[in-house]
Amino acid sequence: MMTTVLVVEDTLSEQELISLYLRKAGYTVITANDGKEAIEKTLAQKPDVIVTDVVMPNMNGFELCRSIKKNPQTQKLPVIACTSKTQDLDRLWGMKQGIDVYVTKPFTPEELIRAVKSVAG
């Protein structure tokens, strides 16, 4: 059974890069350009993991995570946040929103894959 990862990133170049790293590691990738699209795709396609940027228009990564964790259908879905915010306070706030794993930008393919493996196997 292939693990499906939903990549939520409003910067196309970053979205493509993250998708490439994950596909090379054997994951199936679906993408969304913002939080609202991510929620629709999560409900429709049921990914195993979400990798999301934090700073996005319309709905940020934390709001997306809160929404995912509030819905009984999706609350067990692991959410990995990719962020350039590296302060402990940001991390703490993220954990409170339900973020499962933090990956700090810029990250290596190895760091990303390790994060996904830690929640999805």
Residue 57: pLDDT over 90? no
Tell me the fold of 4-118. Rossmann fold (3.40.50)
Helix (H) or strand (E) holding 69: helix 61-70
| Apex 114 CA angle, 111 and 115, nearest 5 | 85
pLDDT band at 121 (very low <50, low <70, confident <90, very high): low
* pTM of the entire predicted model: 0.93
Mean pLDDT value across the chain: 92
Rg (CA), the chain: 13
Q: Bigger pLDDT: 85 or 11?
A: 11
In tens, the pLDDT along 70-118 reads: 999 999 999 999 888 667 777 788 788 899 999 988 899 999 999 999 9
Residue ranges covered by each domain of the chain: 4-118
